[in-house]
Structure 1
Amino acid sequence: MKVAIQGVQGSFHHKVAQEFFIPEVPVAECMSFPVLVDQLITGQVTAAVMAIENSIAGAILPNYALVNQYDLTIDGEYYLDVQHNLMGLPGQTIADIKEVWSHPMAHIQCRQFFQNYPDIKLVEDTDTAGVARQIQKEGLKGIGAIASVAASQIYNLDIIASQIQTIKNNETRFFILNTQEKQIGDDCDKASLCFTTDHKRGSLATILNVMSDCKLNLTKIQSMPIIETPWKYAFFVDITFDVYTDYEKAKKILQIMATDFKVLGEYKNRKK
Structure 2
Amino acid sequence: MKVGYLGVPGSNSEVALQNECHGMPDIEAMGYTTFPELISDLVEKKLEMALIPVENSTTGFIARTADLFRNKPIVAVADRYEPIDYTLFGVPGTDLSTITEVYSHPEALSQCEVFLAQFPEMKEMPFADTAKSAAYVKKQNSPQMAAIANPRAGKLYGLEPLAMGIQTEKSNTTRFYIMKHADAAILKGNQLSLYLEVRHEPGALSKLLQIFGILNCNLLSLNARPIPGQPFAYGFFLELDMTDMSVAFDVLWQTVLQAVTYIQILGRFERTNHIEYN
Normalization by structure 1: what TM-score? Answer: 0.93
Identity of aligned residues (%): 27
How far residue 140 of structure 1 moved from its aligned partner, in angstroms, is 4.1
Q: Does residue 106 of structure 1 match 2:108?
A: yes
Q: CA deviation at 1:173?
A: 1.2
Letter in 1 for 2:138: Q
Higher mean alpha-carbon deviation, 241-250 vs 217-226, is at: 241-250
Q: 1:58 to 1:203 in 2, by over 3 A?
A: same
Provide the residue aligned with 1:193 in structure 2. Answer: 194
Further displaced range: 135-144 or 196-205: 135-144
Question: Partners in 2 of 1:76 and 1:206 — Cα distance?
Answer: 29
Mean Cα displacement is larger for which, 18-27 or 204-213? Answer: 18-27
Task: Name the SS of the counterpart of 2:232 in structure 1.
Answer: coil
Amino acid in the other structure paired with 1:264: L
In structure 1, what residue type is equivalent to 2:167? Q
Partners of 2:121 and 2:35 in 1: how far apart?
A: 31
Which residue number corresponds to residue 265 of structure 1? Answer: 267
Please list every run of 5 or more consecutive structure 1 residues that lacks an aligned counterpart in the other structure. none
State the 1:26 CA deviation.
Answer: 2.2
Q: Which residue number in structure 1 is paired with residue 19 of structure 2?
A: 19
- Contact 2:217/2:244, CA 8 A, preserved across alignment: no
For residue 266 of structure 1, give the secondary structure of its aligned residue in structure 2: strand
Q: How far off its partner does 1:37 sit?
A: 1.3
Query: Does the 8 Å CA contact 1:214/1:246 hold for their aligned counterparts?
Result: no
Structure 1 residues 216 and 246, CA gap change in structure 2 (3 angstroms): farther
Check conservation: 1:214, 1:247, Cα contact below 8 A.
Answer: no
2:95 touches 2:143 (CA, 8 Å); kept in 1?
no
**Unaligned stretches of 5+ residues in structure 2:** none
Matched residues, number: 270
CA-CA distance at 1:243 after TM superposition: 5.7
1:205 & 1:154 partners in 2: Cα distance? Answer: 50
Distance 1:16 1:111 in 2: 23
Instruction: Find the residue that maps to 2:231 and give its secondary structure.
Output: coil
Residue 186 of structure 2 aligns with which residue?
183
Q: Partners of 1:178 and 1:247 in 2: how far apart?
A: 22
CA contact (8 A) 1:129 1:151 kept: yes
Q: CA, structure 1 residues 35+184, in 2 after alignment: closer, same or farther (shift >3 Å)? A: closer
The 5 A counterparts of 1:88-127 are 88-127=90-129
Does 1:251 pair with 2:258?
no
Name the residue aligned to 2:138: 136
CA distance in structure 2 between the aligned counterparts of 1:204 and 1:180, rounded to whole angstroms: 27
CA distance in 1, matches of 2:105, 2:71: 24
Distance 2:197 2:105 in 1: 32
* TM-score, scaled relative to structure 2: 0.91
Question: Aligned-pair distance for 1:138?
Answer: 4.6
- 160-169 or 128-137, which moves further after superposition? 128-137
Secondary structure at 1:257's aligned position in 2?
coil
